[in-house]
Amino acid sequence: MKLKKAFLAVLLLALLGGGVGTLARYHSASGWSLYENRALAGAPDLTAQSILSGSAASDLEDCLRDHFIGRDRLLKLSTRLSLLRAQPVVNGVVSAETALLPEPLGKTIDEAQLQADAQTIAARLSAVQNAVEGYGGTFLYVHVPEQRSVLRDRYPDWMTDDGAYLDAASSALLAALQEANVPVLDLTSELTARADELYFSTDHHFNLYGADFVYRSVCVQPGVQKWGVSHVKNTILDAKNPFLGTYGRELFGQSRLHESLAFYTPTIPYTRFDNGAPSDVPLIDVDENSQKTVFYAAYMGGDIGETILKTDRPELPSLLLVGDSFTNPVEALIYQSFDETRSLDFRHYSEKTLTEYLQDYQPEVVLVLRDDVSCLKLTGNGNLQ
């Protein structure tokens, strides 16, 4: 038995070595999949323990699957054929007449669970509010709908969308926040009414026009306006670069739907820091002269744990904006109305709790921005302490 195991181990080692050698000749066993938005599997760690346990074989399989020659071309072809066959869902994406949408979550409404999660989130936000108001600042929770929510009518008539669940989740949270006396700016109705103008049709976020609407809406809130905050009007334009949104990317760029990523040229000078280090990442990374494909990550360079924008205008207040990717285009605009703008994404930031951060910096205005798909998640930006 021991001899058999040893023989199998040697055989597997030879196969693994041959596979990795082949891989090394044709493709680097690392990197990032642009279309799948994920890290590609690296070469397996070939140790006696990993070989005998079988993990090396599994890791090699993942590596070869991610790096075989012509992989992207084959995946594009497969996706194109699926779209031509008019499959209702391709790569998790529903190709509607005027929009690309995610396959519905299929969640059932559990009122008891929604209420429990809403109460938990409300209690956490109430504690943050108390911390902010304790040093004299202003706190505001900003609630926005996601693309699948505002474009729910674009799903095929026979397909059940997520609208009922998202409405129930939003209602539960907003009621809990009202009960806890947490200030809320709910922009659901306004953003939904102008969804064609303010949201991408191939990505799950609002666009820069939508972000500017959020920015303007925040600035007129009495608690924010008392600090002398006002909206800065910008000339927003649609870039000529091809844009690949979340769902266009998941379809490997094979969708017939195309749209632009909006941008503007910042005129207020700033100094930027990302995760504590000086950064030269532009607020909106668009070079129209290159005709290079752009992604939603063009806004602020994507999701970053902590970003600080300093404008050296001490007569203006300071801002802290907490949230996930929906805050990115808002950050690129709203910094214009503040002396210093800090943003935190607790999916990527863990150095301090939010309460500790507030104690250290005491920003005059604190905004927490969440969308209706993620608003009841208790982790990441839902786990504010």
pLDDT value at 276 more than 50: yes
Average pLDDT along the chain: 88
pLDDT value at 96 more than 80: yes
Measured distance CA(311)–CA(261) in Å, rounded = 26
Question: What pLDDT band is residue 198 in, cutting at 50, 70 and 90?
Answer: very high
pLDDT above 90 coverage of the chain, percent: 77
β-strands 340-344, 318-323 pairing: parallel
pLDDT value at 273 more than 80: yes
Question: What pLDDT band is residue 55 in, cutting at 50, 70 and 90?
Answer: low
Number of H helices, E strands in the chain: 14, 14
Per this entry, what is the length of the chain? 385
The tens digit of pLDDT for each residue in 16-29 reads 444 444 444 334 45
Query: Comparing 6-20, 156-170, 278-292, which segment has the lowest mean pLDDT?
Result: 6-20
Query: Buried b / exposed e across 51-71, counting CB within 10 Å, b at 16+?
Result: beeeebbebbeebbebbeeee
Give the pLDDT of residue 171. Answer: 98
Question: What pLDDT band is residue 33 in, cutting at 50, 70 and 90?
Answer: low
DSSP 262-279: EE----S--EEEETTEEE
Backbone angles phi, psi at 148, to 5 degrees: -65, -20
Query: Which pair of structure tokens corresponds to residue 126?
Result: 């109430």
pLDDT value at 13 more than 70: no
Measured distance CA(323)–CA(248) in Å, rounded = 24
pTM: 0.86
366: how many CB neighbours lie within 10 A of its CB? 26
Give the pLDDT of residue 75. Answer: 80
Measured distance CA(340)–CA(311) in Å, rounded = 6
Give the pLDDT of residue 11. Answer: 40
Question: What pLDDT band is residue 52 in, cutting at 50, 70 and 90?
Answer: low
The tens digit of pLDDT for each residue in 118-177 reads 999 999 999 999 999 999 999 999 999 999 999 999 999 999 999 999 999 999 999 999
pLDDT above 70 coverage of the chain, percent: 82
- CA 277, distance to chain mean position in Å, is 22
Give the pLDDT of residue 76. Answer: 76
Decide if 160 contacts 150 (C-beta within 8 A). no
pLDDT value at 211 more than 90: yes
